[in-house]
């Protein structure tokens, strides 16, 4: 697709955790000095050789949140930067990032500098890692069920399970302690569902992360965040937020609150002019989730790698 041949307003969708692969980014690292600078910044601020960890793993190290969040963000910013050169005068009306991808969405909208982006991700990942080691848990993706039906199942189970991500009418993610989620997984299978364990190292967006909220709130209070240049629809509310103080509070609550992805996508899909969703991710999956929405047209989504060639 020639992105400059369409007058459609554009919305960027940024990937989150859960889908790391060995070798991701290796075809992009040395394209130019700007891209090299992104990966250098990620390594310098995190104190880790992010290129090497992405290239060689091992996978059980790459999925650790202190590594994965930095790596995913480096991929997001790299792919976004490469796409920007192809966009010309394209009219961008908004962005949205899934879970940790929300920080990349804020960066794209000019609310964060590159250095502050990686500083916040580094701090966030450390907080989440520390809390998750105290309160061990994991996450399961569940297809073929909406938020209402899954909430009812959780209530009936009487287990301390939370819906981490309300992705669509056909896809939810739940999180909880190991014991509770093991039992709930058995109940899901008995009900005909096939839950899939996600490649993350904790139960994100659940009550198990509550200790991290005041830590994030304290750190973000001094962080430099500018008003976004366009709407950034946030996970916690499913609505756009432009005031830095409220953005910071949403980012703090992010650790324990459901990712309202279904509400966020519905907001963009209701735009008076049909939007073009450009997915910024190493491997396409957010565009596939959009297919669950009744008013979605497959021609309304494009993966970022379709905009440039290496």
CATH number for the domain harbouring residue 149:
3.30.70.250
DSSP 188-247: HHHTT---EE-S-SS-TTSGGGTTHHHHHHHHHTTS--PPPSSEEEETTTTEE---HHHH
In terms of domains, do 31 and 126 share one?
yes
126 within some domain: yes
Please state, in angstroms and rounded to a whole number, the distance separating the CA atoms of residues 106 and 225: 9
Q: Do 248 and 299 share a structural domain?
A: yes
Q: What is the mean predicted confidence (pLDDT) over 270-297? A: 89
pLDDT (average), residues 230-239: 97
- From 152, 170, 197, the end of a domain falls on 197
Q: What is the pLDDT of residue 122?
A: 98
Q: Provide the pLDDT confidence category of residue 4 given band limits of 50, 70 and 90.
A: low
Point out the domain boundary residue: 149, 172, 197: 197
* Residue 179 belongs to domain spanning: 137-197
- Alpha carbon distance 131, 150 (integer Å): 26
Give the pLDDT confidence score for residue 200 in this predicted structure. Answer: 85
> Do 186 and 63 share a structural domain?
no
Classify residue 286: in a domain, yes or no: yes
Name which of 157, 163, 118, 115 is nearest 139 in CA terms. Answer: 163
Beta-carbon contacts of residue 209 (< 8 Å; ≥ 6 apart): 128, 131, 132, 135, 202, 203, 255, 256
Residue ending a domain, among 197, 224, 245, is 197
Residues 191 and 296 in one domain: no
* DSSP-assigned beta bridge partners for residue 232: 95
Locate the DSSP E strands across the chain.
10-14, 92-97, 137-143, 162-168, 171-177, 196-197, 231-234, 239-240, 276-280, 301-303
122 and 28, same domain (yes or no) = yes
Average pLDDT over residues 160-173: 96
The three-class DSSP label of residue 19 is coil
Task: Indicate whether 102 and 24 sit together in one domain.
Answer: yes
> Same domain, yes or no, for 12 and 149?
no
181 and 254 assigned to the same domain: no
pLDDT (average), residues 46-57: 96
192 with 246, same domain: the answer is no
Query: Is residue 245 included in any domain, yes or no?
Result: yes
Report the predicted TM-score, pTM, of the whole model to 2 decimal places: 0.94
Are the beta carbons of 204 and 216 closer than 8 angstroms? no
84 in any annotated domain: yes
Kindly state whether residues 69 and 117 are assigned to the same domain.
Answer: yes
Give the bridge partners for 96, in sequence order.
Answer: 13
Q: What is the pLDDT of residue 3?
A: 55
- SS3 state of residue 181: helix
Do both 282 and 165 map to the same domain?
no
- Asked, for residue 158, whether it belongs to a domain, the answer is yes
Within-domain flag for 123: yes
Residue 166 lies in a domain: yes
Residue 203 belongs to a domain: no
Mean pLDDT over residues 46-52, rounded?
97
Same domain, 215 and 273: yes
Chain mean pLDDT for the chain: 93
What does the pLDDT look like over 67-85, one tens digit per residue?
999 999 999 999 999 998 8
Q: How many domains is the chain partitioned into structurally?
A: 2
């Amino acid at each position: 697709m020639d992105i400059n041949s369409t007058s459609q307003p554009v919305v960027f969708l940024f990937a989150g955790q859960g889908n790391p692969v060995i070798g991701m980014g290796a075809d992009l690292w040395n394209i130019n000095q700007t891209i090299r600078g992104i990966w250098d910044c990620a390594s310098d601020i995190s104190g880790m050789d992010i290129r090497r960890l992405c290239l060689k793993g091992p996978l059980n190290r790459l999925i650790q949140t202190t590594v994965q969040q930095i790596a995913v963000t480096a991929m997001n910013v790299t792919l976004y930067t490469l796409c920007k050169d192809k966009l010309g005068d394209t009219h961008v009306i908004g962005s949205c990032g899934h879970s940790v991808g929300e920080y990349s969405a804020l960066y794209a909208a000019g609310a964060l500098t590159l250095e502050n982006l990686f500083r916040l991700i580094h701090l966030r990942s450390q907080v989440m890692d520390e809390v998750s080691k105290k309160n061990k848990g994991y996450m399961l993706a569940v297809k073929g069920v909406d938020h209402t039906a899954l909430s009812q199942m959780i209530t009936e189970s009487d287990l301390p399970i939370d819906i981490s991500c309300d992705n669509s009418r056909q896809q939810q993610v739940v999180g909880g302690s190991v014991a509770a989620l093991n039992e709930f997984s058995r109940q899901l299978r008995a009900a005909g569902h096939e839950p899939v364990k996600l490649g993350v190292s904790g139960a994100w967006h659940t009550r198990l992360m509550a200790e991290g909220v005041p830590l994030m709130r304290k750190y973000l209070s001094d962080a430099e965040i500018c008003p976004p240049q366009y709407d950034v629809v946030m996970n916690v509310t499913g609505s756009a937020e432009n005031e830095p103080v409220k953005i910071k509070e949403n980012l703090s609550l992010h650790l324990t609150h459901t990712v309202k992805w279904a509400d966020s996508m519905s907001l963009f899909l209701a735009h008076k002019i049909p939007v073009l969703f450009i997915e910024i991710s190493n491997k396409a999956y957010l565009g596939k989730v959009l297919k669950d929405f009744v008013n979605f047209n497959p021609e309304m989504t494009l993966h970022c790698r379709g905009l440039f060639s290496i």
